[in-house]
Structure 1
Amino acid sequence: MYFQHVYDKSLAQASYFIGCQKAGVAAVIDPKRDVDTYIEIAKANNMKITHILETHIHADFLAGSRELAKLTGADMYLSDEGGQGWEYEFPHIGLKDGDQMKLGNLVIDVMHTPGHTPESISFLLTDTPAINKPVMLFTGDFVFVGDIGRPDLLEKAAGMIGTQDIGAKQMYQSIKKFEALPDYIQVWPGHGAGSACGKALGSVPSSTVGYEKIRNWAFQFEKDEKGFADYLLEDQPEPPKYFAMMKKLNKVDRKLLTEVPKLKSLSAEELKANLAKGMKLIDARDKAEFAAGFIPGSINIQGNNSFGTWAGWFLKYDEPFMLLADENQLDDLTRKLMRIGLDNIEGYISGTSVFEETGGTLQRANNISLEETKNLIHNNNVQVVDLRGAAEFKAGHIAKADNVFVGTLAENLDKISKDRKVIIHCQGGDRASIGYSILARNGFTNVSNFSGSINEWVGAGEDLVS
C-alpha cells in the first residue's frame, strides 16, 4: 500500500492519497481544490487516480473533487446519507452505511457517522496483503485528535435553525460506533489544530481508536448524553462567514478551476480607477510594514497561514478585488484564495509605489506602546475594544473592555465610539492590524492600535478580568 498525508496548513485541512502499488491505482480522500498536488504524486509513483472520496459536504474549504475528476477521469464516491436536502446535486456514485469499495488489493468500508453534518461518513481501510483486518479510519470531521466535529456550524454559519441540537444527539450515537472499533486502528482526521471545525483539536496528524477513547474528552461522558451535548456546543469559535458559501458550492454544480491562475500586474492607472470604484485592495504585507505606510482604504490581511480564512470574512464572492503582495507570494496566496472559492482576483500590485505614482499619499497606522495604552486607559475617557473571539474574551480581558470580534467588525461599526479615543487590540497583534485597517477604511480617525495586545499586557504582569 502507498499512503501520503497531504496537509494544508492554511486551513489546517488534511487530505489523503492512498494507492495499491500492485494494481497501480489510487484514491484521494477530501482533495483540496489545487489538485496538481495529487496528480504529481500519482505521476511520481506510476499510479492512476481512479477513486475520489469525500467524507461530507464541506463547509470550511472548496473540495477539489470535481476538478480532480475532470483532469483524471476518476469516479467520485460521495455520501447518499443524510436524507432530503443533503444530496449532492451533480453526478456521482452514492455511498451508504455498510457499502464497500475495492482499490486493487485495498478494501474501503463505509461507516455513516452523522453529527457534524447529517450525511457525514467515515472510511475504514483494510490492506488485504498485509492483514485481513481494518487498519486505518479516515474520519473527516467526525473524530479529530483530542476533539470531535462541532454540530453547530449548520445553524451558526448557514442559518439552519435547530440543527445543532439534532447534530449533538447524532454525534453521541456516532461516538458509540467509534468506541466499538478495535483500539489498534489508526485514526486519520480531516483537520488539525487551528481549524474552526472544533475547539480543541490536537496538533499531531493522527491517533488511534484506543488513544482517543482514553484521551479525547468526548469519550468521558459515558451515559451522560446531555452533559456531552452541552460541553460539545459551548465555547465553540466563531465560524468564518465564508462557511455558508462553501456548504452551498460543495453541494451544487459550479464552475471548475483546473489550474492555478496567473495574476495580472496592474498599472498605476488601473489601480487608481479600481480604487475609485470602491474595489477592495487586500494588502498581504507584514503588519509592521503595513503600519509604516498603507494605501488608504486597503485591508491588511497578512500572507501567512491565516490569510485565506480572514479573506473569507471580508471578501464577497460576487465582487472583484485586488492584492498587494510580493511576486514570490502570488502563487501561494492565489492557492489559498482558490481553496475557498475566492476566484475574482482582478490583479495585483507588488508595492505601494504604484499608488504613489498616481500622486496618492500613504497613511500610517497609529500604533501605541504598552505604556501609552496604560496611560490612556488610566487618565482618559477611552473605549477599549477587544477584537478577539467571544470565548477568548470570556477567558480573560482588560477591565471594562468591549468585545467586538474582528470578523464581524464591519457589521458592528456602531459599537465603536466616534466621540472618544478608541484603543483596539487582540491577542498578538495580527487581528488588531486587520481591525485598524477596517476602521480606517470606514473613516475612523480616533483609533489607536495597541499592537502588543494581550500577550504584551500579560507579559508585563498586568491583570485581566473574566
Structure 2
Amino acid sequence: MLIERIYDEDLAQASYLIGCQANGTAVVVDGRRDIAVYQQLAEKNGMKIVAVTETHIHADYLSGTRELAAATGATIYLSGEGGPDWQYGFDGKRLYHGDKFSIGNITVQAVHTPGHTPEHLSFLVTDGAFSDQPGYLLSGDFVFSGDLGRPDLLDEAAGGVDTRFEGAKQLFASLRDKFLTLPDYVQVHPAHGAGSACGKALGAIPSSTVGYERLFAWWGPYLAANDEQGFINELLDGQPDAHAYFGRMKRENREGPAIMGDRTPLPELAIGTVAAGLAEDTLTFIDTRHSSEVHEGSVARSLNVPAGKSVASYGAWVVNPGTDKNPLVLLAQDQKTAQDMWDHLVRVGIDNVAGYVTSIEGLPTFTPKLIEPRELDEFDPAMVVDIRNKTEHTAGHIPNSYQLSGGRLMWRLDELPAEGAIVTYCQSGVRNSVAASALRRAGYDVVELDGSYVAWTAWQQARQSVSSS
C-alpha cells in the first residue's frame, strides 16, 4: 500500500493519494482543484486514480473532487450523512457510517464523525495485503495533531445561529464513541496542519496516532473525566476569526465546484492592452510584490497579493468572484511564476485570470499613503483599524483601534466610516498592505501605519525610555 500526503502550505491543507501497488489503482481524498500533482503522482507510481472522495463540505478551499473525476473517470464517493440540510448537490455514491469501498487490496470504511460539520466522515483504511484490521484513519477536520476541528464555522461563515454548541457536543460524542474506541496503534492523518483557521492550536506534525492523542491532546482529560461541559467551554474559547470567504466555499462545495478542465497556459499581455483595460476598468491588476516595494509605488487601484505561500489566502481576502467580474492581471517575473500563482488562486475559486506582465512600467502608478508611529498622536483619523485576528488584538493593540480582521474586512464595510481617513495596521505590515489595497480600490482614504504594530510598540518603548531617563 502507498499513502502519499500532498500538503499545501498556503492553506495548511493536506490531501492524500492512497494506492494499491498490487493492481495499480488509487483513491484521492480531499483533493484540490489544481489536479496535476495527483495525476503526476499516480503516473510516477504506475497507478490509475479510480476513486475520489472527501471527508466533508470544506469551508477553506474549493474541492477538487469533481475536477479529478472529470479528468480521470474516477468514481465519486460523498457523505450521505448529516440530514437533508447537508446533502451534496451533485452526483456521487453516498456513504453512510460503516459503508466500505475497495481499491485493489485496500478497504476504505466511512466513519460518521460529526461535530466540525454534521455530515463529516473520517475514513478507516485497511491494507488487506498486510492485515484484516484497519491501521490508518484519515480524520479530515475531525482530529488534528494536538487539536480538533472547530465546531463554530457554521455560525461564523455559513449563516448558522448558535450551531457551535450542538457541534461541540457532537465532537465530544464522536471522540468518545468513535475515535477512542480505536486501537492506539491506528495512525491518524488529518486534513490540516499548523496555520489553518479550521482549529485554534493545530500542531505542525503531519500525523499522529490514536494512542498519542488519547494521552497528550488537550482534550484527553475532559474525555477521561466525561466532562462534556468543560470540554465545550475549552473548545469554543479563543477560536480565531473565520475568513469571510469561507461562506462562499461552503456554498460552492456543497453545490459542486465548476469544472475547469484543461487550462490554457497564461499569456504574457502587452502593456498597452493592460493600460487600456485598467483605464476602462475592465481589468484588475494584482501587484504581487512585497509591501516594501509596493509602498515605493504601485499600479493605481491595484490589489496587493504578495507572491509566495499565501497567494490563495490573501487573494480570497480581496477578490470575491461573485461580485468582482473583471479578469485579473498578475505581476510575475515569468510565465512559470504566474502559472503557479494561478494554481493557488483556483484553490479558492478565483479562476478568471487574463494573463500576466513582468513590469509595471508604462502603467498608471501612485504611491500609497503612510504614517509614522510618532505622527499618529497628532493625526486625527476617522478610525484606526487593526486588521489582525481578535486574539492578536486582545494580546495588545493601539488604544481606541477597532479590530476587523483582514479576512473579513471587505465583507463588513458597513462598520467603517463613510468619510475621513482610515489608518490601518497589522503586526508587521504585510497583511496591512493587502487589506489597505482593497480598501483603496473600494474608494476609502487609507493611510497605512508604517511598520504596523511592531513599529508602534518600538516607538512607545523608545518614548517611555526617554521620559524615564
Equivalence for 1:220:
221
8 Å Cα contact 1:22/1:104 also seen in 2: yes
- Residues 132-211 of structure 1 mapped to structure 2, 5 A cutoff: 132-176=132-176, 177-211=178-212
Residue of structure 2 equivalent to 1:321? 327
Kindly provide the CA deviation profile for residues 184-234 of structure 1, in whole angstroms up to 9, marking residues without a partner as x.
111100011111111111111111111111222222323222222222223
Could you tell me which amino acid in structure 2 is paired with residue 181 of structure 1? Answer: L
* Aligned match of 2:354: 346
Q: Retained in 1: the 8 A contact 2:433–2:448?
A: no
2:467 paired residue number: none
Moved more, 439-448 or 96-105: 439-448
Aligned with 1:407: secondary structure? coil
C-alpha displacement of 1:404: 2.8
Equivalent position to 1:263, from 266, 281, 285: 266
Q: Deviations over 1:82-105 (max 9, x none)?
A: 110211222211111111222222
| 1:240 maps to 2:243 | yes
Q: Paired residue for 2:120?
A: 120
Measured after TM superposition, the shift of residue 394 of structure 1 is 1.0
CA 1:432/1:137 → structure 2, altered by over 3 Å: closer, same or farther?
same
Contact 1:59 1:247 in 2 (8 A): yes
Question: Which residue of 285, 289, 292 corresponds with 2:289?
Answer: 285
1:353 and 1:391, CA in 2 relative to 1: closer, same or farther beyond 3 A? same
Where 1:262 maps in the other structure, the secondary structure is coil
How many angstroms apart in 2 are the aligned matches of 1:247 and 1:233? 21
Determine if contact 1:34/1:258 at 8 Å carries over to the other structure. no
- Asked whether the 8 Å contact 1:324–1:351 carries over to 2, the reply is no
User: Which of 362, 366, 369 is the matching residue for 1:363?
Assistant: 366
Structure-to-structure mapping, 1:81-92, within 5 angstroms: 81-92=81-92
Q: Partner amino acid for 1:153? A: L
1:302 lines up with 2:306 in the alignment: yes
Could you say what the CA RMSD is over the residues aligned between the two structures, in angstroms?
2.3
Report the equivalent of 1:330: 338
Question: How far apart are residue 414 of structure 1 and its match?
Answer: 5.8
Residue 45 (1) aligns with residue 30 (2): no
Whether the aligned pair in 2 keeps the contact of 1:34 and 1:259 (CA below 8 Å) is no
Secondary structure of residue in 2 paired with 1:91: coil
C-alpha spacing 1:17/1:434, structure 2 compared with 1 (3 Å): same
Question: What is the rounded CA distance, in whole Å, between the counterparts of 1:264 and 1:4 in structure 2?
Answer: 33
Q: Distance in 2 between matches of 1:415 and 1:220?
A: 43
Pair 1:252-2:255 in alignment: yes
User: CA separation in 1, counterparts of 2:329 and 2:135?
Assistant: 45
Distance 1:448 1:260, change over 3 A: same
CA–CA distance in 2 between the matches of 1:7 and 1:449? 34
Find the aligned partners of 1:253 and 1:385 in 2 and give their Cα distance.
36
Structure 1, unpaired ranges of 5+: none
* C-alpha distance 459-168 of structure 1, shift in aligned 2 (>3 A): same
Answer yes or no: is the 8 Å Cα contact 1:260–1:334 preserved in 2: no
- The alignment partner of 2:102 has SS state of strand
State the Cα distance separating 1:335 from its structure 2 match. 0.5
Output the amino acid matched with 2:315.
Answer: A
**How far did 1:121 drift?**
0.5
Amino acid at match of 1:281: F
Residue 289 of structure 1 and its aligned partner are, at CA, apart by: 1.4
Q: Deviations over 1:252-305 (max 9, x none)?
A: 245311334422333334323432343432211111111111011111111122
TM-score, normalized by length of structure 1?
Answer: 0.90
User: How many residue pairs align between the two structures?
Assistant: 452
Tell me the TM-score normalised to structure 2 length: 0.90
- The answer (yes or no) to whether the contact 1:55–1:120 under 8 Å persists in 2 is yes
SS of the counterpart of 1:346?
A: strand
What SS does structure 2 have at the residue aligned with 1:385?
strand
**Once the 2 structures are TM-superposed, how far is the Cα of residue 128 of structure 1 from its aligned partner?**
2.5
Alpha-carbon distance between aligned partners in 1 of 2:293 and 2:380, rounded to the nearest angstrom: 30
Offset, 1:245: 1.8
Asked if the contact 1:267/1:354 (under 8 Å) is kept, the reply is no
Residues 373-417 of structure 1: CA distance to partner in whole angstroms, max 9, x if unpaired?
1x2245555654322111210122233333232233344376359
Secondary structure of 1:297's aligned partner: coil
Q: State percent identity of aligned pairs.
A: 40
CA contact 2:440–2:446 (8 Å) conserved in 1: no
Aligned partners of 1:152 and 1:164 also within 8 Å: yes
Partners of 2:271 and 2:71 in 1: how far apart?
38
CA distance in 1, matches of 2:161, 2:414: 27
Deviation at 1:50, TM superposition (A): 1.4
Q: Secondary structure at the match of 1:255?
A: coil
CA deviation string 1:410-433 (max 9, x = no partner)? 44376359556x543211211111
Seen in structure 2, the aligned counterparts of structure 1 residues 399 and 32 have a Cα distance that, compared at 3 Å, is same
CA contact (8 A) 1:34 1:260 kept: no
Q: CA deviation at 1:64?
A: 1.1
Structure 1 partner of 2:15: 15
Q: Aligned partner of 1:171: which letter?
A: L
Q: Tell whether the 8 Å contact from 1:423 to 1:450 is kept in structure 2 after alignment.
A: no
**Which deviations, in whole Å up to 9, do the C-alpha atoms of 1:55-87 show, x marking residues without a partner?**
111111111111111222211111111110211
SS in 1 for 2:198: coil
Q: Deviations over 1:166-199 (max 9, x none)?
A: 2111111111121121111111000111111111
> Which residue is 1:389 aligned to?
389
Distance of aligned partners of 1:135 and 1:458 in 2 relative to their CA distance in 1, 3 Å threshold: farther
- Is the 1:187–1:206 Cα contact (8 Å) retained in structure 2? yes
Relative to structure 1, the CA distance from residue 258 to residue 289 in structure 2 (aligned partners, 3 Å threshold; closer, same or farther) is same
2:183 maps to amino acid: P
Q: Is contact 1:425–1:449 with CA below 8 Å preserved after alignment?
A: yes
Corresponding residue SS for 2:367: coil
Q: Hey, what's the Cα distance between the residues in 2 that align with 1:269 and 1:187? A: 53
Distance 1:350 1:292 in 2: 17
